[in-house]
Structure 1
């Protein structure tokens, strides 16, 4: 069996880690071991926060909808319950966008929710 030199593969593997560590300060961006630890940790944060981002945005939308609903004399839960009873199927992202950018449309939805509740 022929002798295999692993320089190409190992260099590529090290380079991949160091490229991901680009921009890190000091040894974290230059030294393989510390760069590998830092990159690994960063990837763990990225994985976790891709999920946390969804929760954060949903709660932001709820806060915005609640604020807009209270301007029309309803709580968030009353507003959402009224929309559900009126068979209005608009998700929270769109409702929050309407609350911020188009208050007249949100006011019409609030009237519909009030009538249905």
Structure 2
């Protein structure tokens, strides 16, 4: 009995992976190179979906810290004061407030300072 090589299935699998690799440069139109590059790219995509969340949190903290220091309080003291005052605003919203609604952010800083027993300026 002759050996069946499974040509149509293999061709379909190769075409699917080459289609995913469209837009890659160099010899990535060749199946073996396209497959390894694709695997690497998918690995990076998976990793960076998690990394993106960390990067945004870092950005929010930097923005909050910058405006908090302008108001005469450190980031950690601000967060501690807000927690003691019972204000539950996440870092994303605090960063947005710091950027867009300066007056409201100043009011939050005042609240945090009074909760810590610092003199509100």
Q: TM-score, normalised by structure 2?
A: 0.88
Report what 1:88 is aligned to: 87
* C-alpha separation in 1, matches of 2:111 and 2:4: 74
Give how far 1:97 is off: 0.8
Question: Which has the larger share of helix?
Answer: 1
> Following superposition, which runs of at least 4 residues in structure 1 exceed 6 angstroms of deviation?
none
Q: Deviations over 1:45-65 (max 9, x none)?
A: 111111111111111110000
**Equivalence for 2:119:** none
Please report the RMSD computed on the Cα atoms of aligned residues, expressed in angstroms: 1.5
Per-residue CA distance 1:38-79 (angstroms, 9 max, x = gap): 000111111111111111111111000000111110000000
Query: Paired residue for 2:43?
Result: 44
- Please name the residue that 1:12 is paired with: 12
Q: Which structure 2 residue ranges, 5 or more long, are not aligned?
A: 117-121
Shift of 1:93: 0.5
What are the within-5 Å matches in structure 2 for residues 28-107 of structure 1? 28=28, 30-107=29-106
Q: Distance in 2 between matches of 1:110 and 1:47?
A: 38
- Residues 70-110 of structure 1 show CA distances to partners (whole Å, capped at 9, x for unaligned) of 11100000000000001111110110111111111111111
**Structure 1, gaps ≥5 residues long:** none
SS in 2 for 1:25: coil
Partners of 1:48 and 1:26 in 2: CA distance: 25
